[in-house]
């Protein structure tokens, strides 16, 4: 059933002219400007794609965009899916499986995250080196999951060390401060309590968010090299916790976005 659903989606997208994507990109909250840099060949709303979930978060646009960036064919998910929207783990990662089925060879993921590491500041970038899954589920835990690959996916190195090294070099060459740290994914949508932030500090988390981890787990099952960059949008100091303003988070993400865009554009050239 799931394989048939996915085949219908992939066949439809191919019929729409999405034929040779090399790199898949997932854009996180407040991180949509990269689309303006793409020489767009095809733009399709999620609602038009058979079996595709529909983005419900108001600041996620919900489009699949195909075109050229840095001399490569890219396929961009402008708007992602979250467990907190009521989707299951299969739906949250459906776009990753579809992009892989269309032929992408590498996956670049971005997200907005809160800083647990108190040396990080709003507007900083963090290259994800490893993650902790606190969402209470796995996108590989469903009947028939083994038909897509090994369900016991090895998570020794979920993020491509090779691509991470390229990005670190690019950041150095462009004087971009790029932390490297551990991202923890929680269910949300409510933000964390002071006690939960203290727990995350004890777990040696550097940044916390509500996405990315399911997508990366699926990429590992599919043997798809991937990386993740978090834009730090708020500082989560349990000893001095301030109320969080979602509008401010989106504004901070927007201000930091040009740095992330530069890293993505430059690494695409060398992939």
Q: Is the pLDDT of residue 165 over 90?
A: yes
Domain parsing of the chain, residue ranges: 2-270
CATH 3.40.50.1580 given to domain 2-270: yes
DSSP state, 251? H
More confident site: 55 or 245: 245
- pLDDT at position 55 is 62
CA-CA distance, 65 to 134, in Å (whole number)?
Answer: 31
Phi, psi angles (nearest 5°) of residue 268: -60, -35
- Average pLDDT, stretch 194-204? 97
- Element at 259 (helix H, strand E): helix 246-270
Contact 61, 55 (CB under 8 A): yes
- pLDDT at position 176 is 97
* Percent of the chain residues topping a pLDDT of 90: 86
Phi, psi angles (nearest 5°) of residue 105: -105, -20
- Average pLDDT, stretch 146-154? 96
Tokens of 152: 């016991």
Band (56; pLDDT cuts 50, 70, 90): low
Lowest mean pLDDT among 12-16, 144-148, 203-207, 245-249: 245-249
Lowest mean pLDDT among 8-22, 44-58, 71-85, 183-197: 44-58
Q: Is the pLDDT of residue 59 over 60?
A: no
Comparing C-alpha atoms, which of 173, 159, 163 is closest to residue 259? 173
Could you read off the pLDDT of 214-256 as tens digits, one per residue? 999 999 999 999 999 999 999 999 999 888 888 888 888 888 9
Could you give the count of Cα atoms lying within 13 Å of 37 in the half-sphere of its Cβ? Answer: 21
More confident site: 62 or 129: 129
Band (163; pLDDT cuts 50, 70, 90): very high
Could you give the count of Cα atoms lying within 13 Å of 33 in the half-sphere of its Cβ? Answer: 13
- Element at 96 (helix H, strand E): helix 94-101
């Amino acid at each position: 059933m799931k394989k048939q659903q996915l085949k219908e989606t992939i066949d439809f997208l191919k019929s729409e002219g999405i034929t040779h994507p090399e790199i898949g990109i997932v854009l996180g909250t407040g991180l949509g400007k990269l689309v303006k840099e793409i020489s767009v060949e095809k733009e399709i709303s999620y609602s038009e794609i058979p079996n595709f979930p529909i983005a419900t978060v108001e600041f996620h646009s919900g489009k699949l965009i195909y075109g050229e960036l840095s001399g490569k064919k890219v396929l961009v998910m402008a708007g992602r899916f979250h467990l907190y929207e009521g989707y299951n783990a299969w739906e949250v990662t459906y776009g990753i499986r579809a992009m892989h089925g269309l032929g992408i060879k590498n996956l670049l993921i971005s997200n907005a995250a809160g800083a647990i590491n108190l040396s990080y500041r709003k507007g900083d970038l963090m290259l994800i080196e490893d993650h902790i899954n606190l969402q209470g589920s796995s996108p590989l835990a469903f009947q028939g999951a083994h038909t897509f690959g090994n369900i016991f996916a090895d998570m020794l190195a979920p993020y491509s060390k090779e691509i991470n090294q390229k990005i670190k070099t690019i950041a150095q060459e462009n004087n971009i401060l790029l932390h490297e740290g551990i991202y923890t994914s929680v269910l949300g949508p409510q933000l964390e309590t002071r006690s939960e932030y203290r727990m995350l500090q004890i777990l040696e988390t550097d940044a916390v968010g509500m996405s990315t981890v399911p997508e990366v787990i699926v990429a590992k099952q599919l043997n798809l090299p991937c990386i993740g960059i978090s834009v730090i949008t708020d500082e989560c100091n349990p000893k001095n916790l301030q109320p969080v303003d979602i509008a401010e988070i989106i504004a901070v993400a927007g201000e930091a976005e040009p740095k992330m865009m530069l890293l993505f554009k430059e690494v695409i050239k060398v992939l």
